[in-house]
Structure 1
């Protein structure tokens, strides 16, 4: 099976991404379409494609100089176990705008082994990191 990875935003299937995030992910439930559209417009996004149809996604939020955050990585269920997440990560790690970043973070409860293969580790000093976490923000309105 041939998989193509692209960072061309015009190729993204926003409806597919929205459906996956709101119906199948644990982190995007209830996200309004307009919120996703804005997030994609302000991020560096990667799509994985099989025969022209999108089968995977990854999004990087970054200033493209010092910091980045990896988010919304997924492969559609029918395509899992075929190395697509690795191809997405290869593309993210190789992207010219994401080189020489001082810090690149992510949050994952399901794919920590994958990210470890790319040099990701637990926070060196978690006591320094803080967050404002509003897990139900999309469900209010």
Structure 2
């Protein structure tokens, strides 16, 4: 059985950093970058017997907007429904219930997120980005 917690003191930052630096979306992110992003986000840790096996981070104003980021389950724990449990916990988090706009980016997990109501942009011409 897994535990999903928003208690930042339980996060195993080295595990998070090690995994993220091997991903397509966070390659090159430093340990300090990971620490700062954790400090400034609503974080969800996924644990089995106090060992961190997953993570997600939400950037939000708690009223209008929530951006889902850095979602992962360690490879050896995949295909057991843990990512679905994590996304379910995020969707049910009381502090996020007022948020009307939820967004995320993914290159490979569309099927997971579609199960939780995410779709392609209805009006992509309204969305802009600034990449540095």
- Taking structure 2 as the reference length, the TM-score comes to 0.97
Distance 2:117 2:23 in 1: 24
Structure 1 residue 111 corresponds to structure 2 residue 109: yes
Match of 2:65 in 1: 67
Match of 2:4 in 1: 5
Match of 2:50 in 1: 52
SS at match of 1:65: coil
Distance 1:103 1:29 in 2: 27
Residues 9-49 of structure 1, C-alpha deviations (whole Å, 9 max, x = no match): 00000000000001x21111111111111110010000110
Structure 1 residue runs of 5 or longer lacking an equivalent are 135-141
Distance 2:98 2:122 in 1: 18
Distance 1:13 1:114 in 2: 25
Structure with more contact order per residue of length (Cα contacts < 8 Å, sep ≥ 6): 1
- For the aligned residue pairs, the C-alpha RMSD in angstroms reads 0.8
Equivalent residues, number: 132
Structure 1 residue 94 corresponds to structure 2 residue 92: yes
Distance 1:133 1:58 in 2: 22
Deviation at 1:110, TM superposition (A): 1.0
SS at match of 1:88: helix
Structure 2 residue runs of 5 or longer lacking an equivalent are none
- Taking structure 1 as the reference length, the TM-score comes to 0.91
Distance 1:85 1:110 in 2: 13
